Amino acid sequence: MEIRNCMKRSVVSIQADKTIREAAEVVVNRHVGILPVVDEFGKPVGVVRLSDLLELELPDFIQLVEDFDFVHDFGAIETTRPTKKELAQTVSDIMEPVLTIEETCGLLRAYATMLRNEIFDLPVTNKNGELVGLISRVDVGSAILSLWPKR
């Protein structure tokens, strides 16, 4: 089965010149965890994940701490918020390189690609490289399991 048969076709995307604040508003209002960043032709040029935005909340040292079990109260940390200057940066400042998959690819290839790259969602493109959908591990897994023999 090709991924075009089980992908989400209604994809929320953003352009690289939008602000981080605008990206956060889209994530909140549209309840999405990934925003493909597209150029003026609708071709993916990057991706912003919810985790990229949430990292603006975390102090730099948090990335270095391996064990949080000893911390019982994150109160002081939870009061930090991104500055207006940080929120005015553009999406291009925080976007990650995008990994896409073509809509004609098979389910197992999509799943293997997500596993190998430790990602949960893949933007889907057509043969012209334009964004046409989004596929998640859940989408792929559900489609594969639905092909299993019935009782």
Domain-located, residue 151: no
Query: Confidence band (pLDDT; 50, 70, 90) for 63?
Result: low
Beta strands in 8-74 (DSSP E): 14-15, 34-38, 44-49
104 found inside a domain: yes
pLDDT per position as a tens digit, 14-45: 999 999 999 999 999 999 999 999 999 999 99
- Phi, psi of 113, deg, nearest 5: -65, -45
pLDDT averaged over every residue in the chain: 89
User: Tell me: the pLDDT tens digits for 77-100?
Assistant: 555 677 788 888 999 999 999 999
CATH number at residue 117: 3.10.580.10
Q: Count Cβ atoms below 10 Å from residue 24 Cβ, excluding itself.
A: 18
Instruction: Give the pTM.
Output: 0.83
Q: Does residue 99 lie within any of the structural domains?
A: yes
Beta partners for 14?
37
**Exposed, middle or buried: residue 21 (CB in 10 Å: 0-12, 13-18, 19+)?**
middle
